[in-house]
Amino acid sequence: MNGYDFTLAGARLVALGSGALYWPDQSLLCVSDMHLGKAERRARLGDAILPPYETHDTLSRLQSDLEMTGASTVICLGDSFDDTQAAQGLREAEKLWIARLQAGRRWVWIEGNHDPGPMDLGGTHLSELPLPPLIFRHIARAGQSGEVSGHYHPKVTLPVRSRTVTRPAFLIDSDRVILPAFGTYTGGLRSRDAVLCDLMRPETVAVLTGTTPRAAPMPRQ
Amino acid sequence: MLARAAEPSLLLIAPTGGGKTLAGFLPTLVDLAKSSHEGLHTLYISPLKALAADIRRNLTTPVEDMGLPIRIEDRTGDTSSARKKRQRADPPHILLTTPESLALLTSYEDAPRIFAGLKRVVVDEIHALAESKRGDQLMLALSRVQALCPDLRRVGLSATVEDPAAIASLLTRHPDPCEILLADPGPEPQIEMLQAAEPPPWAGGGAAYAIPAVMAQIRQHKITLIFHNTRAQAEIFFHNLWLANEEALPIGIHHGSLDRVQRERVEAAMQRGDLRAVVCTGSLDLGIDWGDVDLVIQVGAPKNVKRLVQRIGRANHRYNAPSKALLVPANRFEVIECHAALEAARDHDLDGEPRGSGPRDVLCQHILIRACSGPFQADALFAEAKTVGAYATLTRQEFEDCLDFCATGGYALRAYDQWQRLVERDGFWQLRDPRAARLIRMNIGTIQDSDLLKVRMKRARGGKPLGEIEEGFAASLTPGDTFLIGGQIVKYEGLREMVVEVSRDAARKPKIATFAGTKFATSTQLSQRILRLLAQPDHSMLPDHTSDWIALQANVSRLPEAGRLLIESFPHDGREHVCIYGFAGRNAQQTLGLLLTKRMEEMRLAPMGFVSTDYATLIWGLEPLKDAAGLFDKSALRDGLERWLSGNALMKRTFRATATIAGLIQRNLPQVRKSGRQATFSSDILYDTLVKYDPDHLLLDITRQEAMRGLIDFGRIEEMLDRIGSRIDLQRLDRVTPFAAPLFLEAGRTPVEGAAQERILEEETERLMQAAGLAR
pLDDT in tens, B70-88: 999 999 877 889 999 999 9
The whole-number pLDDT of residue B498 equals 67
Higher per-residue confidence, B701 vs B504: B701
Over residues B170-189, mean pLDDT: 87
Asked if B372 and B431 touch (Cβ cutoff 8 Å), the reply is yes
Q: Which of A83, A160, A209 best tests the B interface by mutation, with the highest count of B CBs <10 A?
A: A160
Over residues B683-697, mean pLDDT: 91
Residues of chain A neighbouring B693 (CB-CB closer than 8 A) = 51, 53, 56-57
Nearest by CB to residue B433, choosing from A46, A165, A216, is A46
Please, which pLDDT band fits residue B678 given cuts at 50, 70 and 90?
very low
Residues of chain A neighbouring B408 (CB-CB closer than 8 A) = 49
Residues of chain B neighbouring A51 (CB-CB closer than 8 A) = 409, 411, 686, 689-690, 693-694, 697
Residues A48, B681: C-beta atoms closer than 8 Å: no
β-sheet bridge partners, residue B324: B190
CA–CA dist B136, B390 (Å, integer): 7
Residues A48, B476: C-beta atoms closer than 8 Å: no
Please, which pLDDT band fits residue B511 given cuts at 50, 70 and 90?
low
Over residues B741-752, mean pLDDT: 76
Nearest by CB to residue A161, choosing from B477, B663, B760, is B760
Residues of chain A neighbouring B413 (CB-CB closer than 8 A) = 52-53
CA–CA dist A206, A215 (Å, integer): 6
Indicate the DSSP class of residue B522.
P
Give percent of chain B above pLDDT 90: 44
Residue B699: closest C-alpha in chain A: A51
Chain A closest-CA separation from residue B684 CA (Å): 10
Residue A164: closest C-alpha in chain B: B476
Residue B484 scores a pLDDT above 90: no
CA–CA dist B401, B398 (Å, integer): 5
**Short-list A148, A66, A145, CA closest to A107:** A66
pLDDT tens per residue across span B361-416? 999 999 999 999 999 999 999 999 999 999 999 999 999 999 999 999 999 987 67
Q: Counting one residue from A and one from B, how many pairs have CB atoms under 8 Å apart?
A: 143
Residues of chain A neighbouring B420 (CB-CB closer than 8 A) = 43, 49
**Short-list B348, B362, B369, CA closest to B399:** B362
The whole-number pLDDT of residue B508 equals 65
Chain B closest-CA separation from residue A106 CA (Å): 30
Residues B413, A52: C-beta atoms closer than 8 Å: yes
Chain A closest-CA separation from residue B489 CA (Å): 20
ipTM: 0.91
Residues of chain A neighbouring B768 (CB-CB closer than 8 A) = 158, 216-217
Chain A closest-CA separation from residue B771 CA (Å): 9
Residue B666: closest C-alpha in chain A: A48
pLDDT tens per residue across span B110-154? 999 999 999 999 999 898 888 789 999 999 999 999 999 999 999
Residues of chain A neighbouring B677 (CB-CB closer than 8 A) = 189, 193
pLDDT tens per residue across span B519-564? 678 888 999 999 999 999 999 999 999 999 999 999 999 999 999 9
Please, which pLDDT band fits residue B772 given cuts at 50, 70 and 90?
confident
Q: Which of A4, A33, A53, A189 best tests the B interface by mutation, with the highest count of B CBs <10 A?
A: A53
Nearest by CB to residue B408, choosing from A49, A186, A215, is A49
Please, which pLDDT band fits residue B671 given cuts at 50, 70 and 90?
low
Higher per-residue confidence, B720 vs A22: A22
Asked if A128 and A144 touch (Cβ cutoff 8 Å), the reply is no
Residue B514 scores a pLDDT above 60: no
The whole-number pLDDT of residue B751 equals 64
Residues of chain B neighbouring A161 (CB-CB closer than 8 A) = 760, 764
CA–CA dist B197, B433 (Å, integer): 69
Three-state DSSP class for B669? coil
Asked if B167 and B161 touch (Cβ cutoff 8 Å), the reply is yes
CA–CA dist A129, A107 (Å, integer): 12
The whole-number pLDDT of residue A97 equals 96
Asked if B191 and B264 touch (Cβ cutoff 8 Å), the reply is no
The whole-number pLDDT of residue B673 equals 42
Torsion of CA B659, B663, B664, B669, to 10 degrees: 120
Three-state DSSP class for B360? helix
Residues of chain B neighbouring A40 (CB-CB closer than 8 A) = 415-416, 419
CA–CA dist A191, A158 (Å, integer): 11
Residue A156: closest C-alpha in chain B: B475
State the angle between helix axes of B133-148 and B360-372 in degrees (0 to 180), rounded to the nearest 10: 40
Residue B12 scores a pLDDT above 50: yes
Residue B691: closest C-alpha in chain A: A51
Asked if B213 and B254 touch (Cβ cutoff 8 Å), the reply is no
Which of B53-62, B151-160, B461-470, B627-636 is least confident?
B461-470
Higher per-residue confidence, B53 vs B147: B147
Residue type, B13: I
Q: Which of A33, A35, A41, A50 best tests the B interface by mutation, with the highest count of B CBs <10 A?
A: A50
Residues A47, B436: C-beta atoms closer than 8 Å: yes
Q: Per residue in B610-624, is it b (16+ CB within 10 Å) or e — as a string?
A: bbbbbbbbbbbbeee
Residues B764, A158: C-beta atoms closer than 8 Å: yes
Residue B752 scores a pLDDT above 80: no
Residue B675 scores a pLDDT above 60: no
Nearest by CB to residue A49, choosing from B421, B758, B760, is B421
pLDDT tens per residue across span A71-82? 999 999 999 999
Chain B closest-CA separation from residue A95 CA (Å): 14
Over residues B576-589, mean pLDDT: 92
Higher per-residue confidence, A31 vs B596: A31
Residues B762, A214: C-beta atoms closer than 8 Å: yes
Chain A closest-CA separation from residue B758 CA (Å): 8
Over residues A81-102, mean pLDDT: 92
Higher per-residue confidence, B6 vs B576: B576
Higher per-residue confidence, A31 vs B650: A31
CA distances from B625 to B478, B554, B569, B744 (A): 41, 21, 6, 18
Residues of chain A neighbouring B494 (CB-CB closer than 8 A) = 221
The whole-number pLDDT of residue B352 equals 73
**Chain-wide mean pLDDT for chain B?**
85
The whole-number pLDDT of residue B139 equals 97
**Short-list B521, B525, B485, CA closest to B505:** B485
What DSSP element (H or E) covers B714? helix B714-724
